[in-house]
Amino acid sequence: MPFVTNKIKTDRLSICRTCSYYKRRTQSCGPLAVGSTVEHKGDKVKLCGCVMPIKANLQIADCPIGLWTAFFTDQDLQRYKDWKQRYDQDPRKIVDEQDQQQLVRMYEAAFDTKWTPTNCRSCWQSMIKALNHFVSNSHKELERVDPESAEKKVAR
């Protein structure tokens, strides 16, 4: 499931609503859809312009100024894609211990649960199938709230 629990969503939104960059009228992080670039703690940061009740619900989403983080980060996603590419080249290949540790950590982050590794091949295949589904659905959600695509639509 690419979504956080209601409690986490509520906690994230509470944080957003106290942020000076939060726009109450549009419930967005900075100007709706286009965001803006601001200086925050000495760094230039791009506010996303996302509708926060939507973004706060996604496990892979994070706050642009770091007030809350993703459960499944961009780094996790890239690691998974790299691993998946190797796995797809030779599905019979046994997953090594390092791959197992990374997959378990990503699975636990994605599904907010504990998973005990086993030697059961079908258990690993089920985990991989679940992660594939998670990654696939996460991208569909991001396409709906992606500030870059929204920015292009506004510019037209």
Determine the pLDDT at residue 94: 57
Query: C-alpha angle 43/45/57, rounded to 5°?
Result: 135
Last residue of a domain, one of 54, 71, 88: 71
Last residue of a domain, one of 24, 53, 71: 71
C-alpha to C-alpha distance for 110 and 42, rounded to whole angstroms: 32
**Same-domain check for residues 53 and 103:** no
**Same-domain check for residues 78 and 122:** yes
DSSP code string of the chain: --B--HHHHHHHHHHHHHSTTEETTTTEESSTTT-EEEEETTEEEEE---BHHHHTTBTT---TTSSS--SS-HHHHHHHHHHHHHHHH-TTSPPPHHHHHHHHHHHHHHHTS-----S-HHHHHHHHHHHHHHHHHHHHHHHHH-HHHHHHHHH-
C-alpha to C-alpha distance for 101 and 124, rounded to whole angstroms: 12
Residue 155 included in any domain: no
Last residue of a domain, one of 35, 50, 71: 71
**Same-domain check for residues 38 and 96:** no
83 contact partners, CB below 8 Å, separation of at least 6: 99, 102, 103
**Is-above-0.85 flag for pTM?**
no
Number of domains in the chain: 2
pLDDT digits (tens, 9 = 90+) for 50-88: 999 999 998 888 899 989 988 777 777 788 888 888 888
If you count them, how many residues does the chain have?
156
Residue 93 sits in which domain range? 74-142
Q: Has residue 115 got a pLDDT over 80?
A: yes
When comparing pLDDT for 89 and 13, which is higher?
13
